[in-house]
Structure 1
Amino acid sequence: MSDSSSAPADDGSSPDADADAAMSDAELAALREEVEAKYDFENFGPADMAKMTPEEWDAAFDPDSWVVGEELLDRVEQELRYRVAIREVFAVLERVTENGEPRILAYSDEGYAVVYPDGSVEGEGTVLRDVKPTVALCSMEDFEVNDAPETVRLPEPEEVAQGTGDFGNRMLQIVAFGQLLGGFALIGAWLVLPDLDSIIAPLAGLGFLVIGFFLFVVVANARLSDRFRAEEYRDRLRVMGLEGGSRPEFVPTFDGDENVASLVEAPERDALSSEG
């Protein structure tokens, strides 16, 4: 009796369970399509990561299809080198070992991140914020990792110092010189020519002079700002240890650190020293 009474119950529950599972799969597929349309995973960054809800995260990153292990570290290494090359990430990259297990270390003067083979990331600061989305993307099988150049180098101080650019500064200087020349010409004509007794000429001349001096001040300030920006960047490189060969104190140590080779080259040695 007990066997016959339990059989119908089992038969009746199985279709319901299958229907619930099918409904869940359908909803997940619909949500995945919605997430793929909502976010640009080719340019996925920290801001997008912060906007995603837990449901959207689960739909976008299927844990059953995650890439892990050595393959994940290889993908993360290549993608991070590419992002450093295009100036999207500012960090030194190293392949390190901890207790015999490989890790990827990224660090700058403002933080660090350690990537583990299982996809977990630890660290602090802006580097952690920049690395997390990259690891998430590289964990997806259908994400195509960008090809990094053979040689990836951190930017030179002169590149960082570029504000309006030398061409822009020269154009401003030409305009400023023209304004000054026009101002002096109007005032000189008003003083020399007796027929030119209108007050408009000297006022216009003074206006041209003010504009010319203002533009020259803008150019001087831009050049000074570029110089300060370059020096500030050199200080950041020194804090990162690129001049002395040692990492910042807040970066953890790993096995065989003395033999670790950086995956990103530093600027030229003379770029680390101040000019003049």
Structure 2
Amino acid sequence: MGDARSEPEDAASGDATTDTGGAETAPESDVESRSDGDPEPDAESLSTEELRRQVEEEYDFDSFGPSEMASMSAEEWEAAFDPETWITGEELLDRIEADVKARVLRRDVFARVERLARPDRVVAYSDEGYALVYGDGTVEGMGTVLRDVKPSVALCSMEEYDVPEAPDGDLLPQPMEVPEGSGEFGNLMVQVIAGALVLSGVVLGGAALVTGDIGVIAGTVGLLFLVAGGLLFFTVANARLSDRFRAEEYRNRLRAVGPADGERPDFLPESARGEPKLEGERGDEETAEQGA
């Protein structure tokens, strides 16, 4: 370390000797201003502060997500977050576990979240990808889960971010608990309107058969009512069928994740597998390692 620090000083002294032998020399005013001991203004720090203020005005960190993280440049990221104040270690993993679980409960993220031991880490995985987070903030993985977890890692590293409380119980429902659709009241109201239109169309069509010139108008209006009623019935049937397909697709994803039987997807690497870390083990791992 002593040799590394002495090399720049030797190079600097050599450059100074060369400059004094050249045609131009530094003005005496510059020499006096540098020798009086006052530090020069740090333009880089001033620009960083300005950039930090711009980032705070542009981004809302209470609703910071993957899209905001992707739009932020490297310079804005370094200006907004101070690495020296980042939270790491077990506290970081506790915050990430709570934050991701809360997002899963809100259905912002589809994943199963586990806390694994030796080494201490948090893994979130679905049927399409995974994210593995270590105590130093390192994140590895693939797919949409990695994209969704990265903002949580960044936010949980900051003391200013208030992490929600970790929810208890099962975060993902059982496959058979998923309803096939919602909004039955709305579907019923649409069917009532469609039935009224069809009935009106039939009445007007029957009236058109027994009337004269007025029957042409009644028949036209009745035909329009029949078409409108048929379209509404088709819309309700299509919505119910779509809800059924979406519910079955969600059940299949839950079965692939295995929330009940503890099975994990085959694409998970060995680093994302392991025994779960129990509550009693947290905080005792370092003591056990030191004793060993």
TM-score, with structure 1 as normaliser:
0.82
Q: Which has the higher contact order (CA 8 A, sep 6+)?
A: 1
Deviation at 1:221, TM superposition (A): 0.9
Among residues 46, 49, 63, which one is paired with 2:69 in the alignment?
49
- How many angstroms does 1:245 deviate by? 2.6
Is contact 1:113-1:122 (8 Å) kept?
Answer: yes
Give the direction of change, closer, same or farther, for the CA distance of 1:256–1:215 in structure 2 (3 Å limit): closer
- The equivalent of 2:168 in structure 1 is 150
1:83 aligned onto 2:100? no
| Residue 182 (structure 1) aligned with residue 200 (structure 2) | yes
**Aligned AA (1:229):** R
Is the aligned partner of 1:129 residue 2:147? yes
Query: How many aligned residue pairs are there?
Result: 252
- Aligned residue number for residue 211 of structure 1: 228
Q: Does 1:74 align with 2:94?
A: yes
1:108 aligns with 126
Match for residue 19 of structure 1?
Answer: 40
Letter in 2 for 1:119: G
Confirm or deny: 8 A CA contact 1:92 1:262 kept in the other structure.
Answer: no
State the shift of 1:48 in Å.
0.6
- How far the C-alpha of 1:167 sits from its partner, in A, is 1.8
Q: Percent identity?
A: 51
Could you tell me which runs of 5 or more consecutive residues in structure 2 were left unpaired when the two chains were aligned: 1-12, 18-29, 280-292
- Is 1:63 the counterpart of 2:83? The answer is yes
Q: In 2, are the aligned partners of 1:238 and 1:244 still within 8 Å (CA)?
A: no
The answer as to 2:244 corresponding to 1:227 is yes
Per-residue CA deviations over 1:78-132 (Å, capped at 9, x if unaligned) read 11111111111110000013xx320000000110000011111000000000000
Amino acid at match of 2:89: G
Deviation at 1:162, TM superposition (A): 3.8
Q: Distance in 1 between matches of 2:63 and 2:87?
A: 19
Question: Which residue type is aligned with residue 45 of structure 1?
Answer: G
Unmatched 5+ residue regions in structure 1? Answer: 264-276
Given that 2:174 and 2:259 are in contact with CA atoms closer than 8 Å, whether structure 1 keeps it comes out as no
The answer on whether the counterparts of 1:94 and 1:262 sit within 8 Å (CA) in structure 2 is no
Contact 1:68 1:118 in 2 (8 A): yes
Considering only CA atoms, is the larger Rg found in Structure 1 or Structure 2? 2
Given that 1:84 and 1:152 are in contact with CA atoms closer than 8 Å, whether structure 2 keeps it comes out as no
In structure 1, the partner of 2:257 is: 240
Q: TM-score, normalised by structure 2?
A: 0.78
Q: Against the structure 1 CA distance between its residues 195 and 146, is the aligned structure 2 distance closer, same or farther, given a 3 Å change threshold? A: same
Partner AA of 2:131 in structure 1: A
Amino acid at match of 1:60: A
RMSD of aligned residue pairs (Cα, Å): 2.9
Q: What is the one-letter code of the residue matched to 1:142? A: E
Say which SS state the counterpart of residue 48 (structure 1) adopts: helix
TM-fit CA distance, 1:189: 1.8
Matched, 1:260 2:282: no
Measure how far apart 1:53 and its partner are: 0.8
